[in-house]
């Protein structure tokens, strides 16, 4: 096994975009810790098959004690933590018009998608700052995975849109706060990505993409998002922080 380029902690790494990020980082030379809630999935074995170390940690980002356990276990296993990828998120269980949406859905989505990453970032950032102050000069960064829903109004998923808009501001806040310590913060903003979360709307988006919803007329893949995270994690954007990296097939261009 070659020397590691670093250790990355990816939340929600058992499937979908999170698994794609884990595998892309492993191919780039990172050892991987990832969180899961219900099932760890095959990600650890897939990472190990790529010649990297991997550990799956049961932990819910909405829980303060779980967040503490996840960080402590990552450091116990690897002795370091260089990259945090806030990927874990949920969609509303029911797509409800904002005139009818209920508070339980709002609380579930906002707590998972915004509060959890915000305070996990705080916990990891404190560790990274302490390492910096102790003389660690290695590249460190935090990557938030958001969505085109950060700026695209979907009136049947208001809570989800608000949570992703909040992630955009959280990225700016942490980028401003951590720059003095040489810790860069990025937002990777996926568009329509083929995962189990979007499986239920596949036919709809097959049609929309074919009609030109995105200039690049195909579904995005988890590996596409993973490659963007790798660019951040490997220090290829050293003079950028708070930057938004669109992985959306050009959706954001708003072409006529």
DSSP result, 105-157: HHHHHHIIIIIHHHHHHHHHHHHHHHHHHTT--S-EEEEEE--GGGTS--TT-
pLDDT-above-70 percentage for the chain:
100
The pLDDT value given to residue 169: 98
Higher pLDDT, 111 or 256: 111
Active site residues: 146-147, 160, 164
Q: For residues 22-32, b (16+ Cβ closer than 10 Å) or e, as one string?
A: bbbbbbbbbbb
Question: Average pLDDT for residues 223-242, to the nearest whole number?
Answer: 98
Specify which residues 15 forms β-bridges with: none
pLDDT, tens digit (0-9, with 9 covering 90-100), for 122-145: 999 999 999 999 999 999 999 999
pLDDT, tens digit (0-9, with 9 covering 90-100), for 194-214: 988 787 888 999 999 999 999
Alpha-carbon span 162 to 255, nearest angstrom = 24
First to last CA, the chain: 50
- Band the pLDDT of 25: cuts 50, 70, 90: very high
pLDDT, tens digit (0-9, with 9 covering 90-100), for 235-246: 999 999 999 999
The pLDDT value given to residue 198: 83
Order of strands across the sheet that contains 83-86: 54-58, 30-36, 6-10, 83-86, 140-145, 183-190, 243-247
């Amino acid at each position: 096994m070659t020397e590691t380029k670093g250790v990355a902690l990816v939340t929600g790494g058992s499937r979908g975009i999170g698994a794609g990020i884990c595998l892309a980082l492993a191919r780039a030379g990172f050892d991987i810790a990832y969180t899961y809630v219900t099932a760890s999935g095959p990600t650890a074995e897939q990472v190990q098959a790529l010649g990297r170390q991997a550990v799956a940690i049961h932990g819910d980002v909405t829980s303060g004690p779980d967040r503490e356990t996840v960080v402590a276990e990552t450091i116990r296993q690897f002795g370091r933590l260089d990259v945090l990828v806030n990927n874990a998120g949920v969609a509303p269980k029911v797509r409800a018009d904002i005139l009818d949406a209920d508070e339980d859905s709002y609380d579930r989505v906002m707590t998972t998608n915004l509060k959890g990453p915000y305070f996990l970032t705080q916990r990891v950032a404190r560790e990274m700052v302490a390492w910096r102050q102790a003389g660690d000069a290695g590249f460190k960064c935090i990557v938030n995975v958001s969505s085109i829903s950060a700026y695209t109004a979907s009136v049947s998923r208001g809570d989800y849109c608000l949570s992703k808009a909040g992630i955009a501001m959280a990225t700016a806040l942490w980028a401003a706060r951590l720059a003095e310590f040489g810790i860069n913060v990025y937002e990777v903003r996926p568009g329509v990505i083929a995962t189990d979360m979007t499986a239920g709307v596949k036919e709809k988006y097959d049609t929309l993409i074919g009609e030109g919803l995105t200039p690049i007329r195909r579904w995005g893949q988890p590996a596409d998002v993973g490659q963007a995270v790798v660019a951040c994690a490997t220090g290829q954007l050293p003079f950028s922080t708070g930057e938004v990296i669109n992985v959306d097939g050009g959706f954001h261009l708003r072409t006529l």
